[in-house]
């Protein structure tokens, strides 16, 4: 089996853990100061932990959009799925190309969390390519401590750019499976479907990379 320690997907897992952590509040503050910070973050619009706990899958990625005069856009991320026993599948890698109108100037770097609320939305990520907002309907997700969950959309999206939440649409973003990155990580050719259906396991040597993501997920469940 190939070494996963230096693999791109291993690094993506660590990045995803950091990104996910920025979107969720601290559930069990250790000090009064932590408690006040956690409440402030909830009021300002963090992702409710119930949204993560009830999700069928999560897609987490970072991307960039450059001015039209420069290279357009790009990024990478991972997707995981809820398995029948309630646990999470290993990660599957994908690349990102942002759609929409280019920037007039500068560079826009952003993070995105897609909460996949249905099995059909998870299955969309098993395809070679899917376009958000076209092949897969997306909507801004509920935020804050008093969030309402009256209407369940197939995909809830949360974005953060330059340290700010919201203000960025991901409609038109193209998600492409990265079979070569998955093969590097798992040591053999596997499909996104096999990964998200729990038919393969992450290599033991990748534990230190995937454990960070698992720890963040466990903190909200």
The per-residue pLDDT for range 20-29, each reduced to its tens digit, is 998 985 544 4
Cα 43 off chain centre by: 22
Q: Please compute the mean of the pLDDT values over residues 147-151 and round it to a whole number.
A: 68
Check whether 220 has a pLDDT greater than 60.
yes
Residue 98's pLDDT is what?
75
Pairing of strands 139-140, 155-161: parallel
**What percentage of the chain reaches a pLDDT higher than 90?**
50
Check whether 107 has a pLDDT greater than 70.
no
List, in order, residues 6 or more apart from 211 with CB less than 8 Å away. none
In the chain, what's the furthest Cα-to-Cα distance? 49
Q: Please compute the mean of the pLDDT values over residues 62-67 and round it to a whole number.
A: 73
C-alpha to C-alpha distance for 43 and 28, rounded to whole angstroms: 16
- The structure's pTM equals 0.83
Sign of the torsion formed by the C-alpha atoms of 13, 17, 19 and 23: positive
């Amino acid at each position: 089996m190939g070494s996963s320690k230096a693999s791109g997907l291993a690094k993506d897992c660590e990045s995803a853990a950091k990104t996910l952590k920025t979107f969720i509040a601290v559930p069990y503050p250790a000090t009064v100061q932590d408690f006040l910070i956690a409440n402030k973050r909830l009021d300002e619009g963090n992702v409710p932990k119930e949204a993560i706990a009830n999700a069928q899958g999560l897609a987490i990625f970072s991307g960039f959009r450059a001015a039209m005069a420069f290279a357009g856009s790009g990024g990478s991320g991972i997707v995981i799925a809820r398995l029948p026993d309630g646990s999470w599948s290993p990660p599957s890698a994908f690349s990102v190309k942002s759609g929409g109108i280019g920037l007039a100037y500068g560079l826009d770097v952003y993070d995105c969390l897609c909460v996949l609320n249905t099995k059909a939305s998870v299955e969309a990520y098993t395809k070679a390519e899917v376009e958000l907002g076209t092949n897969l309907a997306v909507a801004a997700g509920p935020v804050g401590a008093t969030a309402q969950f009256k209407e369940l959309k197939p995909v809830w999206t949360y974005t953060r750019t330059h340290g700010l939440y919201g203000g960025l649409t991901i409609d038109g973003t193209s998600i492409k499976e990265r079979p070569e990155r998955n093969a590097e990580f798992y040591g053999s050719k596997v499909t996104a479907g096999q990964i998200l259906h729990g038919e393969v396991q992450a290599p033991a040597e990748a534990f230190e990379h995937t454990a960070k993501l698992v720890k963040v997920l466990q903190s909200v469940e």
